[in-house]
A and B are shown apart, each in its own frame.
Chain A
Amino acid sequence: MSQKILILDDDSDFNSLLTDIFEQADYDVTSLTDPEKALESFKANTYDLVVTDHKMPEMTGAEFMKLIKKDKPEVPVIMVSGYLENETIRELIRDGVGGVFLKPLNIFSLLERTSELIEECAQEEAPVEPSDAGEAVVEESDASEISFRSYPCLSGASVAFAERISNVANFESTLSLIGESGIHYRTICEDIRLLGESEDDEFIYLSSGSFSPEQTLSLIQQVEDKGAKRVTCVILDSEKMNDAQKVTATELAKRTGAFEGMSLRTIFCVNGDLDSLFDAGMIDENLYILMGTAEVTVPPLRKCDADIEVMAQQLVASAAQKRAWPSIPRIDRAARDLLRKQPWAGNFKELSDTVDRIIAANPGASIEHSDVREALKVEPAADIRSLLKTHLSGEQVDLVRAALILSESDVDEVAAVLGAQAESIQPLVN
């Protein structure tokens, strides 16, 4: 599932550094120091990108690039070098180089450009209108073709999930993602958006704590004004919807009422299984059937143990980038093992919070077992407080809405009844 990169550099130290950089960023790397062997490997394998040094004794990087471009011109090439004449750079650009980076390397720019080039290449290769429906189906169902961001897909559970998501990405009306709390539903929905066939799809995210028909219509209108031909409404924490929101959700999914005639799809993100919610009276018959039309179970993190260390490393890289650190701290083996062994009851959210604590402690170049152990020591009281805070803020919105209905939308009266300032009520009304 990882994208494949061929690295050619005769300097074994620098080759090793480049390999580390790309492996940490979750690329599948083949690194070679001999241009002839690199050519053989390039011809025998399928690479998404090539990174080559320019100054090598047997062949320059420019010559190497010309040879591989003859064979597969679509594969992007990045050149790295200690020093290059401007004229050489211009020639490289003429010959189709995708990027030129001078040593010392700016790792973030290098990784960013790598990702851009691979994405551009994939877009160019993607058939706009598949002439043969059979071929298109084969591509869709082949997990190795899926670009998946929510899981690195190194475990059976996450690979099966990616395949299932790939199969349902072009769902017509409703889709339910069934999982546990703390799952990164937004990233999963982003994967669904990227895997979908339509380029004019826009996704809007509705929080069960606050969405209303007016807000939903307004959001749909906004993205339609920007050119969206179809809108996918993602309802987060669907199990927490109040009665009015359930009516809105049903109308959205059935495209009736205020949403009649609109080009819409709905994704329900649900923490808990539909039968338990139905038995507990939290969803009615309509929603039970609508949500059950196409459901995909999202694997909890504990079932994807091989993915955890890569996800943690990606979170570390992202945090380091935000802080503009010159290098990305690397999680050592003992620390990775410790991360894998955790139950992760809070799933991705808990992993992300743990990495945040590790980074906040400024671990240096290497994240060790002790760093992870310290970050995992969270006082239970703090978690309960934060859970309660989240719960109360959801209740607060419901309470204000109920008071507004009773007072016929008189914000001042609601503020007086609740003993609050009208200004603090207004944001909740909005």
Chain B
Amino acid sequence: MQQHRTLILRGNRFLGSALVERGLLSTGDLEKANGKFMDAIQSSDLKRASILSSLLFDLKTLDESALLEFLVEEEKLGLVDLNYSELDSLRPMGIEADLCWATSTIPFDRIGDFQMVATCYYLSQPVVKHWEELFDSNIIWYATSTLSLTRALERIEEIHEAEDAAAEND
């Protein structure tokens, strides 16, 4: 995760500002979430370093359904529940699960030239930019809930671990 430290910092800073700018969060609540975020960063617990998680689960000052509704209504994103998606290894695309954890984003399907990507961080411009550069902008974005994303990433990790185990047996 350390290699994604700058992206984590930047992605979270922009997400926080975007939530405030769009009226979904107060500055005071963001300040509290930033404090928790910096604690996680400085304890090198980068997997836990997420302003969104702090807001949703620790501070409970952001309503995820309101955020998802905003993404669907205002940003015109599709909504996906990854629990119903078949997931494959990300390694053929050269992507490790760490990057997905760092950006709360996961590529989950492909249609022709277009990669379908689900994210909880669509309002964070550095996150969107990073993934668009990876896929030459050929992305169809979807919003998803943090629980759906977390479960999907755990499944991806299981797939990767199974690949590692198979490689060791060979």
Q: Which residues of A contact B (CB under 8 A)?
A: 168, 171-174, 254, 274-275, 278, 285-286, 288-290, 292-295
Contact = CB atoms under 8 A, between A and B. Distances in A.
A262 to B, nearest CB: 16
Ranked nearest first, the 4 interchain pairs of A and B with the lowest CB-CB distance are A292-B13, A172-B28, A294-B27, A173-B31
Contact of B13 (A174, A254, A289): A289
Contact of B16 (A168, A172, A285, A292): A292
A275 B27 contact: no
A193 B41 CA distance: 34
A112 to B, nearest CB: 37
B9 A288 contact: yes
A293 B38 contact: no
Nearest to B35: A254
Given A174-B31, A286-B38, A293 B16 contact: yes
Given A285-B38, A285-B41, A286-B38, A293 B9 contact: no
B9 A294 contact: no
A289 B34 contact: yes
Contact of A294 (B10, B12, B30, B35): B30
B31 to A, nearest CB: 5
A172 B9 contact: no
> By DSSP majority rule, is chain B's interface helix, strand, loop, or mixed?
helix
Given A278-B9, A294-B27, 14 more contacts: A168-B27, A172-B31, A174-B31, A275-B10, A289-B12, A289-B13, A289-B37, A289-B38, A292-B13, A292-B16, A293-B16, A293-B17, A293-B27, A293-B34
B20 interface: yes
Interface in B5-30: 6, 9-10, 12-14, 16-17, 20, 27-28, 30
A168 B9 CA distance: 23
Interface in B147-170: none
Contacts of B38: 285-286, 289
A172 B27 contact: yes
Contacts of A286: 38
Contacts of A171: 27
B9 A295 contact: no
Contacts of B6: 278
Contacts of A168: 27
B31 A288 contact: no
A301 B14 CA distance: 26
Contacts of B30: 293-294
B27 A295 contact: no
A123 B23 CA distance: 29
A274 B13 CA distance: 10
B20 A294 contact: yes
A290 B10 CA distance: 12
A285 B34 CA distance: 11
A80 to B, nearest CB: 47
A278 B38 CA distance: 15
Nearest to B10: A275
A274 B14 CA distance: 11
A74 B156 CA distance: 69
Contacts of B28: 172-173
A286 B31 CA distance: 12
30 contacts: A171-B27, A172-B31, A173-B27, A173-B28, A173-B31, A174-B31, A254-B35, A275-B10, A278-B6, A278-B9, A278-B10, A285-B9, A285-B41, A285-B42, A286-B38, A288-B9, A288-B13, A289-B9, A289-B13, A289-B38, A290-B34, A292-B14, A292-B16, A293-B16, A293-B17, A293-B27, A293-B34, A294-B20, A294-B30, A295-B17
A292 B11 CA distance: 11
Contacts of A293: 16-17, 27, 30-31, 34
Nearest to B5: A285
B48 to A, nearest CB: 15
A292 B20 CA distance: 11
Interface in B86-109: none
Nearest to A290: B34
Contacts of A274: 13
Interface centre among A275, A288, A289, A290 (most CB of B within 10 A): A289
Contacts of A288: 9, 13
B53 to A, nearest CB: 16
Contacts of B12: 289
A288 B9 CA distance: 8
Nearest to A172: B28
B119 to A, nearest CB: 20
A289 to B, nearest CB: 5
B128 to A, nearest CB: 15
Contacts of A254: 35
A254 B32 CA distance: 11
Nearest to B37: A289
Nearest to B38: A289
A197 to B, nearest CB: 14
Nearest to A292: B13
Contacts of B10: 275, 278
A350 to B, nearest CB: 30
A159 to B, nearest CB: 17
Nearest to B28: A172
A172 B16 CA distance: 15
